[in-house]
Structure 1
Amino acid sequence: MDKKAALLERFMRYAAISTQSNLKAGCVPSNPREFELAEMLAGELREMGLEGVEVDEHAIVYSKLPSNLPEGTKAPVIGWVVHMDTVDVGLSPDVHPQVVKNYQGGDICLNKEKDIWLKTAEHPEIERYVGDDIVVSDGTSVLGADDKSAIANVMTALSIVTSQNRPHGDIHIVFVPDEELGEQGARKMDFSKFPVDFAYTIDCCELGEVVWETFNAGNAKLTVKGVTAHPMSSKGVLVNPILVVHDFINMLDRAETPECTENREGFVVLKTMQANPSQAVLTMKVRDHNKALYERKKEKLVRAAEYLRFRHPKAGIEIELSDSYANIADAVRDDNRVGIDYLYDALATAGVEPKTTAMRGGTDGSYLSVKGILTPNYFTGAHNFHSNCEFLPMKSWEKSLEVTLAIIDLTAKNARG
């Protein structure tokens, strides 16, 4: 089976298992079917001869491909971390991929029965792939290339390396659940089972994209407890928590919202508000690539809450802040940058022009880097993640696989006795 067919066959099998993560579950994994995919992958890893294969209580899959280099020769110990869940954006949890063969341009009908189209007017980038085979959904769900195309990438690479007995150092592979819920799976990892010098994620986006700079990310929750009173006797007594929250929102900078920012500009985004006559709770996300500016945004929220207490002394006002993940770039040092250097060398080997991007988001690598494992990210080849118009050009996907294989080959070639 050639590389293209192998990638596609694996992806179709993995995508058939519905692993949409569930924010309300309150546990990891948030979807029990992530166990089903984990066990499938564990079985395939064992068949390929990997050692230490196990699925833990959080559906995290650990495995190791031991070095086959001559005794006394040591290559850098490398690893990949790939997530098994797909995102919940209100679409169907069930993914039904299809392949548009030899795309010739124009709109793509994703679902004739429901009249769902991928339109070039909305996604003109699709026409850059005329002549390629393109994987799409049926329009009722995301495609799930985020991140099952990466699972197929890594599993195909392992199959090639083991079947061809290609030289390699120690390689650790971990599959995790619930990345889409704020790297919850990676946070449950036992790092004693992932003893690598550096690692990689393959999680977004188009051909050539390289990410080793992500947001610093945090969450904020404002809770306002008001004072209830009947309207007939409310004068000087009633404190409406909804209006107090409204005052807080008015103190925020409308220019620092996602719809008004780009590139390395950070933001505060309002997520949810739950309110009744006695209490209102507002949740927010805080994001910035620059650590100092990130901390300043959090401090602004604290000061706004302090002003609310002054303006509404009878209200109970609390603000809670928590950090979610950090910028990979802040973990880069002279002694660990080699993982990034290998990635650029692998792109050159695969004939791919790098497109270094400061991601307006995060990956599992954002958390791993904070834990001391520098983990840059590279492309799957897909476009429009978290959308029913997500699509995956096959040639880009094959290049992503070539990069994975090149990293393995390069680290082996640079092994030292």
Structure 2
Amino acid sequence: MISKNNIIERFISYVIIDTQSDPDSNKTPSTEKQWNLANKLAVELKKIGMEEVEIDENAYIMATLSANVAHDVPVIGFVSHFDTSPDFTGTNVKPQIIENYDGKDIVLNKEQDIILSPDYFDDLLQYKGQTLITTDGTTLLGADDKAGITEIVTAMEYLINNPQILHGKIRIGFTPDEEIGRGAHKFDVKKFGAAWAYTMDGSQIGELEYENFNAAEAVVKIKGKIVHPGYAKDKMINSMYIAQDFINSLPRLETPEHTDGRQGFFHLTDIKGDVEETILKYIIRDHDKDHFEARKEMISNLAQEINSQHEREVINIEIKDQYYNMREKIEPVMHIVDIAEEAMKQLNITPHIKSIRGGTDGSQLSFMGLPCPNIFAGGHNFHGRYEYVPVESMQRATEVIIKIAELTSEKHK
């Protein structure tokens, strides 16, 4: 039985360390503070008995649990990231433990009247009677993905302490900068040496995912012309009005707040401007490759159309692909998904096979030659003040890791 107290203590020791990444930095890791947890993890892995513990110059961590069987078993891996999102502050995290959750509102912060309510977040009701870890309402929690790290480390420790559980060689990897899309950029797949791996980076219990968005970012630069407003007739070009036309010309209902499931979207993430220049930043997402390409074409064509209405080019657009749908790399090796699904069923966890409305390190790793489906880590409401994680979900995720290792060995006798 996985110790509940061990899970709680380990998880809290990770989330109180600020590891927020920075998209405006060109370094790896993007913030120096990520080293604080990276170095702690390297020490901890050695302490629990992991072998070949390495941390490289970019803070990527790898370690090995040797096989305890004589027959040949494919090397498998488990991967999580230790950075937290730049969307909301991760400084001075104060976790709160809610034991035997009663299904009612949780007061995160009385002074600021911040409430985590099942009236709004109805997933909470799944966890009535369980132990929840929340924020104090002023920071994110960091369950994305320190819950995943907690589960992997705890699973490895359990296997080391229970050698009667038979398994092949297991590699684990922890990455920086996943939240800014760079978690796999400097991951050495060849050195990792696994036939396949699993990211522990999903949400609620039972999630199993091998499909994600195709993703691109678009930077739209709009040039205006500043002239004294008293003499501006037929001379001034206000870039903010052109930006408004551009925004309003994209499908209004194809945005994150109006889509779900496999539906794609255009998401305006940032706008800065004055009369002379306005810059819009978008992310473009779609599960279907053809629809993804059509979205990029739509946004480019819109820029060309608006340019044609002016005597000079007023819009310049740069589109850069970020990652692709890992489904095409996973489907040829679907047995790796089948093993994870069977592991959950044997543990009486109902698998929820679904597509990710986002991306993980696994999506990039799959295209780098390491097929890498995603498994639940247990957290909810990532990237904000209402983030929480049920401890029991972390326990079950830990059990899934152990069972996958066991089943992989059994299936290759």
Same fold (TM over 0.5): yes
Query: The residue matched to 1:186 in structure 2 has which SS?
Result: coil
**SS at 2:185's partner residue?**
helix
Question: Is the contact between residue 92 and residue 141 of structure 1 (CA under 8 Å) also seen in structure 2?
Answer: yes
Match of 2:43 in 1: 43
Correspondence for 1:189: 187
Structure 1 stretches of 4+ moved >4 Å = none
The equivalent residue for 2:10 is: 10
- List per-residue Cα deviations over 1:83-129 (Å, max 9, x = no partner): 00122333452211121112223112223344432222222332332
- Kindly state the Cα deviation for residue 2 of structure 1 after the two structures are TM-superposed: 4.8
Residue 325 (structure 1) shift: 1.2
Following superposition, the deviation at residue 232 of structure 1 comes to 4.2
* Partner residue in 2 for 1:253: 251
Matched with 1:226 is 224
Aligned 8 A contact 2:60 2:175 in 1: yes
1:376 aligns with 2:373: yes
Answering whether residue 65 of structure 2 is matched by residue 65 of structure 1, we say yes
What RMSD over aligned residues (CA atoms) do the two structures have, in Å?
Answer: 1.8
Write the deviation string for residues 3-52 of structure 1: whole angstroms up to 9, x where unpaired. 21221111111112111222333322122121111111111222233333
Determine if contact 1:226/1:314 at 8 Å carries over to the other structure.
no
Following TM superposition, by how much is the alpha carbon of 1:412 offset from its aligned partner in structure 2, in angstroms? 1.4
SS at match of 2:161: helix
Aligned residues of 1:239 and 1:315 also touching (Cα < 8 A): no
> What is the letter of the counterpart of residue 299 of structure 2?
L
Measured in 1, the distance between the counterparts of 2:78 and 2:218 equals 31
Secondary structure of the residue aligned to 2:267 is strand
TM-superposed deviation, 1:233: 4.0
* Matching residue's letter, 1:374: P
Per-residue CA distance 1:324-364 (angstroms, 9 max, x = gap): 11112122233x22211111111112111111121211111
| Residue pairs, 1:22-101, within 5 angstroms | 22-70=22-70, 73-101=71-99
CA distance in 1, matches of 2:144, 2:194: 24
Describe the SS at the equivalent of 2:210.
strand
Aligned to 1:136: 134
Of residues 291, 294, 309, the one that matches 1:293 is 291
Q: How big is the shift at 1:152?
A: 0.7
What's the counterpart of residue 414 of structure 1?
A: 411
Among candidates 388, 400, 409, match of residue 403 of structure 1: 400
Secondary structure of 2:328 counterpart: helix
2:112 & 2:320 partners in 1: Cα distance?
A: 42
Q: Secondary structure of 1:327's partner?
A: coil
268-277 or 33-42, larger mean C-alpha shift: 268-277
| SS of match in other structure, 1:188 | coil
What SS does the corresponding residue of 1:273 show, helix, strand or coil?
strand
Structure 2 CA distance for partners of 1:9 and 1:311, relative to 1, 3 Å: same
What's 2:313 paired with?
315
Amino acid at match of 2:44: E
Aligned partner of 2:274 in structure 1 is 276
1:213 paired to 2:211 = yes
Distance in 2 between residues matched to 1:175 and 1:148, nearest whole Å: 10
How many residue pairs were aligned?
412
SS in 1 for 2:406: helix
Closer, same or farther in 2 for the Cα pair 1:414/1:76, shift >3 Å? Answer: same
Instruction: Give deviations 1:183-211, integer Å, cap 9, x for gaps.
Output: x1211212222121111111121111111
1:111 maps to which residue?
109
- Taking structure 2 as the reference length, the TM-score comes to 0.95
State the identity as a percent. Answer: 38
How does the TM-score come out when normalised to structure 1?
0.94
Code of the aligned partner of 1:177:
P
Measure, in 2, the Cα distance between the counterparts of 1:185 and 1:365. Answer: 9
**Structure 1's 68 and 40: CA in aligned 2 closer, same or farther, altered over 3 A?**
same
AA paired with 1:167? Answer: L
Distance 1:250 1:113, change over 3 A: closer
| Contact map agreement 1:203 1:377 (CA 8 A) in 2 | yes
Q: Indicate the larger mover: 164-173 or 320-329.
A: 164-173
Q: Distance in 1 between matches of 2:114 and 2:231?
A: 55
Change (3 A) 1:111 1:357: same
Q: How does 1:137-156 map to 2 (within 5 A)?
A: 137-156=135-154
Moved more, 228-237 or 285-294: 228-237
Deviations 1:249-286 (A, max 9, x none): 23211121112212111111111122233222111110
Q: Determine the C-alpha separation between the residues in 2 that align with 1:50 and 1:254.
A: 51
1:350 to 347, 351, 354: 347
Cα separation, 2, equivalents of 1:215 and 1:237: 43
